[in-house]
Amino acid sequence: MHEIGFRLDEFTLGSILRGCAGLKALIPGKQFHCYIMKSGFDGNLVVGSSLAHMYMKCGFVEKGERVIKGMPVHNVVACNTLIAGGAQNGCSEEVVDQYNLMKIAGFRPDKITFVTVISSCSELATLGQGQQIHAEAIKFGVASVVSMVSSLISMYSRCGCLEDSITAFLKCEDADVVL
């Protein structure tokens, strides 16, 4: 595209950065970061979230956090990027902290947020916090999503609450073989 004169837009850059993240290709990702800065896309939510995701997938959590925090505007996607990046890099306590900051900032968590945070509670084996977040997921209407139920089963099982794990499974309307 570049060779034939097309200017890359936010969606193309986002796709390229997600490809770099999937391959954990830090060097090309950094090169696109330079392109983003020169092209004026550094304040774009789609590009910024994709760039932060790329850094975090490559193991550079702090660099990803700096990208998100440097953006002039935030949304749920940007918050989820921070939360997922922390989870992917084993920073479960930071995931829960970021979730709380997200709520304080007034952003409404979505099913991606809840699945990631419940999974982190599972890693931490923090039953009380997991139960509180489960209650919030019910309040937001995402507690019966299969991926959420899977995270709940894991969390309750790891915390030694097998009955709660079974209850979560039985309440799932779309249970499948994997679940």
Estimate the crossing angle of helix 61-69 against helix 76-88, to 10 degrees: 170
Query: What does the pLDDT read at residue 10?
Result: 93
pLDDT tens, 135-170?
999 999 998 889 999 999 999 999 999 999 999 999
Query: What does the pLDDT read at residue 13?
Result: 95
105 vs 75: CA distance, rounded Å:
10
| Average pLDDT for 75-84 | 93
Residue 76: which pLDDT band, with cuts at 50, 70 and 90?
very high
In DSSP notation, 140-168 reads TT-TTSHHHHHHHHHHHHHTT-HHHHHHH
Estimate the crossing angle of helix 92-104 against helix 111-124, to 10 degrees: 140
pLDDT tens, 80-117?
999 999 999 999 999 999 999 999 999 999 999 999 99
Residue 175: which pLDDT band, with cuts at 50, 70 and 90?
confident
User: Which among 30, 94, 42 is positioned nearest to 73, based on CA atoms?
Assistant: 42
pLDDT tens, 1-59?
878 988 889 999 999 999 999 999 999 999 999 999 999 998 899 999 999 999 999 99
Domain with CATH 1.25.40 in the chain: 75-179
DSSP, collapsed to helix, strand or coil, labels residue 116 as helix
- Can you say how many angstroms the Cα of residue 132 is from the centroid of all Cα atoms in its chain? 19
Look up residue 90 and give its DSSP letter: T
The CATH topology of domain 75-179 is 1.25.40
